[in-house]
Amino acid sequence: MNGPATARIYLDYNASTPLAPTVAARMREVMEEAYGNPSSLHWAGAPARGHVERARAQVAELLGCEPPEIVFTSGGSESNNFALKGVFFARARQLETPHIVTTRVEHPAIVEPCAFLTRLGAQVTALPVDGTGRIDPDDLRRALTPNTILVSVMHANNEVGTIMPIEECAAIAREHGVTFHTDAAQSVGKIPTRVDDLGVDLLSIAGHKIHAPKGVGALYIRSGTKIEPFVHGAGHERGRRAGTESAMLVTALGEACRLAGDRTRISRIRTLRDRFWMALQQRFGDRVALNGHPEARLPNTLNVSFVGKEGAEVLAGLDGVAASTGSACHEGRVELSPVLAAMQVPEHVGMGAVRFSLGRGTTAEEIDTIVSRLTHVQGVN
């Protein structure tokens, strides 16, 4: 007879989040009642349009902007592509070699569009980071040229949780008249993301990172920012992104943003994360290392390296625990992620990296259980 199944523990909230119950309830409500086209002027379209605009106002409330500055998208990747390509195509004819500044630790949804734009004639500068994953704003200042059209710096890193000095960087860009974008997919709902406080012109949101479903996101576009529409067609989203809006999905995003405005859960999650890190230090001492900034870091993110181990090996021993590694196996060889490599984490340390990202469902009992299982994995009595 088989023994009892190992309890499943989810610590991969930076990858995706479960639907919040009220988000699911709102989706069902809209799916059943608002079947009309939001652009239609008759009685069936009006309810759908009402849901779309209510959601737009909820997203705007979280970001501290005006509702018309919110454009709904299919998610964080589209929002990032919209920001980079939209600014490029709006400015490309004015300059022989448009210049974009970004960093070496960006998400692929920034890295790949930048690579695409280089094939169209753009020049891209990727700023280095220090050992904690942060850029030096002075490096940004030195990188700007008369041809710089856009700076894109992520608000918080998805792997190690390090928070970038966005306010200072955005101020530098503004001094030079350069549009500033931040990928805030990981930071929304975890740390403040008021656009005027940050000083940004463009900001990306991914719904499934804040307990909304996959397939919906938003791009904040500051009024007056020159940007080419991402999808051409009819005049949806004030002519900036063609395609009939999904009232159900954008309602879900709006409700998720409303919930994200409640900051009471964050302190509890931070306490659990710190408890987790302290327990690991007590158990393993110098055989465990923190990756990322010790203070300027997302309150839910703990990226640690089990020195001398491989991340996949550690996770394999954590039966039932969902988390992510900081390395990948290619043709039998473990390679560091580009983020850890950019941070110059030694290979014997970085190959043992595991990212644990906590969320609203995480409990102290789960943390204690994982520490116990990790003790077994590491062979510590």
Task: Flag whether 341 is in a domain.
Answer: yes
355-368 pLDDT, tens digit each: 999 999 999 999 99
Domain-ending residue, one of 221, 239, 260: 260
Calpha distance 43→170 (Å, rounded)? 44
Task: Flag whether 1 is in a domain.
Answer: no
Q: Chain-centre distance of CA 347, in angstroms?
A: 25
Same structural domain for residues 117 and 156? yes
Calpha distance 114→126 (Å, rounded)? 10
Calpha distance 274→277 (Å, rounded)? 5
Same structural domain for residues 30 and 176? yes
CA dihedral angle for residue 219, residue 223, residue 228, residue 233, rounded to 10 degrees: 80
- How many CB atoms are closer than 10 A to CB 349? 19
Q: What is the DSSP string of 184-229?
A: -TTTTTTS---HHHHT-SEEEEEGGGTTSPTT-EEEEE-TT-----
Same structural domain for residues 243 and 276? no
* Residues 141, 144, 150: CA angle, nearest 5 degrees: 115
Domain-ending residue, one of 260, 286, 318: 260
Structural domains of the chain, count: 2
Same structural domain for residues 52 and 157? yes
Checking DSSP bridges between strand 288-291 and strand 301-306, what pairing results, if any?
Answer: antiparallel
Same structural domain for residues 271 and 198? no
Ordered per-residue pLDDT tens for the chain, 381 residues: 344 456 899 999 999 999 999 999 999 999 988 888 888 889 888 999 999 999 999 999 999 999 999 999 999 999 999 999 999 999 988 888 999 999 999 999 999 999 999 999 999 999 999 999 999 999 999 999 999 999 999 999 999 999 999 999 999 999 999 999 999 999 999 999 999 999 999 999 999 999 999 999 999 999 999 999 999 998 899 889 999 899 999 999 999 999 998 878 899 999 999 999 999 999 999 999 999 999 999 999 999 999 989 999 999 889 899 999 865 544 455 678 999 999 999 999 999 999 999 999 999 999 999 999 887 665 543
- How many CB atoms are closer than 10 A to CB 82? 27
What integer pLDDT is reported at residue 94 of this predicted model? 87
Same structural domain for residues 192 and 208? yes
The Cα-based distances of 280 to 284, 334, 375 in angstroms read 6, 24, 9
169 among known catalytic residues = no
Burial letters 244-269, b for 16+ CB under 10 A, else e: ebbbbbbbbbbbbbbbbeeeebbeeb
Residues pairing with 353 in the sheet:
305
Report field, pTM of the whole predicted structure over 0.75: yes
Calpha distance 34→32 (Å, rounded)? 6
The Cα-based distances of 367 to 10, 232, 323, 324, 346 in angstroms read 11, 48, 13, 16, 27
The Cα-based distances of 251 to 26, 39, 87, 162 in angstroms read 7, 16, 28, 30
* Residues 109, 52, 259: CA angle, nearest 5 degrees: 70
State the residue range of the domain holding 371. Answer: 263-378
Task: Flag whether 240 is in a domain.
Answer: yes
Q: Report which residue type is found at 94.
A: Q
Tokens 């710190």, residue?
A: 274
What integer pLDDT is reported at residue 209 of this predicted model? 97
Nearest of 358, 356, 328, 357 to residue 340 by alpha carbon? 328
Task: Flag whether 15 is in a domain.
Answer: no
Same structural domain for residues 329 and 188? no
Tokens of 160: 């190690």
Same structural domain for residues 219 and 360? no
Task: Flag whether 31 is in a domain.
Answer: yes
DSSP state at residue 163:
B
Same structural domain for residues 225 and 99? yes
Same structural domain for residues 245 and 274? no
Same structural domain for residues 145 and 27? yes
Same structural domain for residues 313 and 233? no
DSSP state at residue 287:
G
The Cα-based distances of 239 to 45, 142, 164, 228, 380 in angstroms read 19, 36, 32, 10, 61
Tokens of 23: 């988000």
Quote the strand ranges of the chain, DSSP E: 9-10, 70-73, 99-103, 123-127, 148-152, 179-183, 202-206, 217-221, 288-291, 301-306, 321-322, 324-325, 327-330, 333-336, 353-357
Calpha distance 149→256 (Å, rounded)? 33
The Cα-based distances of 347 to 338, 351, 352, 369 in angstroms read 12, 6, 9, 28
Task: Flag whether 10 is in a domain.
Answer: no
Q: Please return the burial class of 313, using the count of CB atoms within 10 Å of its CB with bins 0-12, 13-18 and 19+.
A: middle
Domain-ending residue, one of 223, 240, 260: 260
Task: Flag whether 9 is in a domain.
Answer: no
336: CATH: 3.90.1150.10
Q: Are 196 and 62 in contact (CB under 8 A)?
A: no
182: CATH: 3.40.640.10
Task: Flag whether 138 is in a domain.
Answer: yes
List 65, 169, 257, 329, catalytic entry:
329
